[in-house]
Structure 1
């Protein structure tokens, strides 16, 4: 596995070793010891796996939880998305900054989004299947949505028209209104 730094040091792109031939391919998508050694530098335990399927133009996010904060290891197994992490850790030197990366079934990249980040993605292919591991359980009563088009954060989404949003995501908060984390 190769770990690639982003402009936010705690957010990492993970490029797995892929072994392929005329029969197909094999890759290791998760290994506890390597992940802790190369990515987090500390113990990390996942408790929940999620899988979603979305059509082109759907934007999900930007979500985080104020309790049961979740680190997420995300990847795409079909199609392509533009994946975004926004630092909402108040005392962080990268507070309010964002990282975006294309994840696809073809490039097989994964993104580590640690606790304290709002997370979301936009589907750029006809459809996409998105899978991710979480370090804590989903807690809907503690979930917060940062507005996908907040002017302070100013994510440069690669939109091909008006994004399709859930009702929850339509009602996202401005960055200035967010409850943020202390490090």
Structure 2
């Protein structure tokens, strides 16, 4: 539990802030990178997110063991969404974008799906599909919450998730995997 470290950060202890950043930076960077494909932009989102964390840490209230990380993750997701809006990715988020020109990751023979392959394939989804997929599947937001965050309807969120899953399934098949992605809304 990070409560003593959080309390030291709340009192403005710079060493504790550095330790807190080091403890969570890698995980939160991966969160940012799921939304913002460019590594430099993801680092920028991470740093801006941590500035907001340290500015508003005094308002954080520990409710249960994992509440700090959930609070931190929510700030990073919100910061990534704000970055996408600022870059004008979200207003055109719901149009079909061209697929990323990244090379296809090669599956290892006789290997099952791994996190790196799935992450690489999700990163190839168009921004709108990827954003809704991450918010729903990874972060656990409801379609109503996604709609509020992205200023879209619940039905648009559901549609984007369905299209993301279909595209992800097609990408998996191209990689030589047969898959049945459950369609739940």
What's the TM-score bracket when you normalise by the shorter of the two chains? under 0.3
Q: 1 or 2 for the larger relative contact order (CA 8 Å, sep ≥6)? A: 1
Q: Normalised by the size of structure 1, how large is the TM-score?
A: 0.26
Relative to total residues, which structure has the larger strand share, 1 or 2? 1
Relative to total residues, which structure has the larger helix share, 1 or 2? 2
In terms of Rg, which structure is larger? Answer: 2
